[in-house]
Amino acid sequence: MKKFKLTGFIIAGILVVICLFGSLFIVKEGEYKIILRFGEAIDSKSEPGLYMKVPFIDNIKVLPKYQMTYENVPTQIMTKDKKVILVDNYTVWRIDDPVKFNKTSHNVSDGAQRINEAVYNSVRRKLSEVNYDEIISENTARGDLNDEITKDVALSLQRDNYGIKIVDVRIKRTDLPESNKESVYNRMISDRQSIAARYLSEGDEESKKITSKADRSALELMAQAEADSKKIVAEGEQEAAKIYNEAYGKDPEFYNLYRTLESYVVTMSNNPVIMMPIDSPYAQILLGE
């Protein structure tokens, strides 16, 4: 009898240990643990530690908590100017709500498929609104497009309650199909040459305008300067005449003598030979009479 009791205690102890260990589970760093009851997610744990569940009823499902990168399948998109291009992009994402994610996607592969569909729809819609040369330019639309697509995809998945957080969507490559790549490149070169010719023509026209304006200003300045100089000379001559008249009015005889002496200086320069009547006033002054 005692033997049967001991065996019963041992079996009960084993069952208790099994139940105890069956009710415990560990959450590690970088993972979610979802508690499933009859196949339906009822709770999730994200912080590392030891947790309990109902043994034999609850099951545990593991999902990654870290960021993941999904490489979207290259697809053909038509731009606003009717060019077919091959678009290759990638998406950085993570599971934000494991319970919602489990209800809609079940596993990482299904979640990646949801992302692929949302990214394709957004990229197709956004690239159809811009021209090809705007897409390939690093200094114009590419940065804005990446940000717009990221925001658009994030809102789409959030609206559908997929439990997915979109961190970033980036376009890696936008290539033309080989069949029409050369013709499009030649067309782009022709367009750029046309734009360059227009800029050169506009620059030449502007240069002529500036030169003409400068020449006109120079002529106006020279004419004004000449008029000012003539005015100054006339005023100077007028002032000199005034001084002469004042001087002459004060002592006419002295003034006549002064002017006569000045004429002598001019006349006698370089030892000239002068013939004049001896009784002329000019000669008499020279002779000291």
210 within some domain: no
pLDDT at 12: 57
Using an 8 Å Cβ cutoff, are 32 and 44 in contact?
yes
Give the whole-angstrom CA distance, residue 74 versus residue 92: 16
Band (pLDDT 50/70/90 cuts) for residue 285 is low
Same domain, 135 and 86: yes
Same domain, 51 and 107: no
Q: Are residues 78 and 169 in the same domain?
A: yes
Cβ burial of 58 (10 Å; 0-12, 13-18, 19+) is: middle
Q: How much is the pLDDT for 166?
A: 92
Q: Structure tokens of 168?
A: 């970033």
* 169/73 same-domain check: yes
Phi, psi of 56 (to 5 degrees): 70, -5
For residue 30, tell me if it sits in a domain: yes
Distance CA 42, CA 103 (A): 11
Strand order, beta sheet including 40-45: 40-45, 31-37, 58-64
Query: DSSP secondary-structure letter at 65?
Result: -
Angle between helices 178-250 and 252-267 (to 10 degrees): 120
Q: Which pLDDT value is given to residue 154?
A: 92
Within a domain: residue 222?
Answer: no
- Within a domain: residue 255? yes
Query: Do 110 and 30 share a structural domain?
Result: no
Distance from the Cα of residue 148 to its chain's centroid: 16
Task: Decide if 270 is inside a domain.
Answer: yes
Residues 33 and 75 placed together within one structural domain of the fold = no
Shared-domain flag, residues 164 and 142: yes
Would 139 be classed as within a structural domain? Answer: yes
Is residue 172 a contact partner of residue 145, using CB atoms and an 8 Å limit?
A: no
Q: Is there a domain that residue 93 lies in?
A: yes
**For residue range 106-146, what is the model confidence (pLDDT) as tens digits?**
888 899 999 999 999 998 888 888 887 777 664 445 557 88
Whole domain around residue 287: which residue ranges?
A: 251-289
Number of other CB atoms surrounding residue 102 within 10 Å: 22
Please, which pLDDT band fits residue 20 given cuts at 50, 70 and 90?
low
Q: Give the pLDDT band (50/70/90) at residue 152.
A: very high
- Asked whether residue 39 is domain-assigned, the answer is yes
Same domain (yes/no): 144, 57: no
Instruction: Please tell me the pTM assigned to this model.
Output: 0.53
pLDDT in tens, 33-46: 888 888 787 887 87
The pLDDT-based confidence of 93 (bands split at 50, 70, 90) is very high
Instruction: Please indicate, yes or no, whether residues 148 and 162 belong to a single structural domain of this protein.
Output: yes
Do 120 and 168 share a domain, yes or no? yes
pLDDT band at 167 (very low <50, low <70, confident <90, very high): very high
Q: Distance (Å, rounded) from C-alpha 107 to C-alpha 95?
A: 10
From 146, 175, 204, the end of a domain falls on 175
The DSSP code sequence of 86-133 is EEEEEEEEEES-HHHHHHHTSSHHHHHHHHHHHHHHHHHHHHTTS-HH
What residue type is 132 in one-letter code? Answer: Y
Whether residue 95 sits in one domain with residue 31: no
Tally the domains of the chain.
3
The pLDDT tens digits of the residues spanning 232-270 come to: 888 887 887 777 777 766 767 777 777 777 776 666 666
Check whether residue 48 and residue 81 sit in a common domain: no
Mean pLDDT of 58-75: 86
Contacts of 144 (CB under 8 A, 6+ apart): none
pLDDT value at 87 more than 80: yes
Show the tokens assigned to 138. 């690093």
Q: Are 91 and 181 in contact (CB under 8 A)?
A: no
Q: In the listed set 157, 175, 193, which residue is the last one of a domain according to the structure?
A: 175
Structure tokens at 126: 């956004």
> pLDDT grade, residue 67 (50/70/90)?
very high
Q: Tell me, what CATH number does 82's domain have?
A: 3.30.479.30
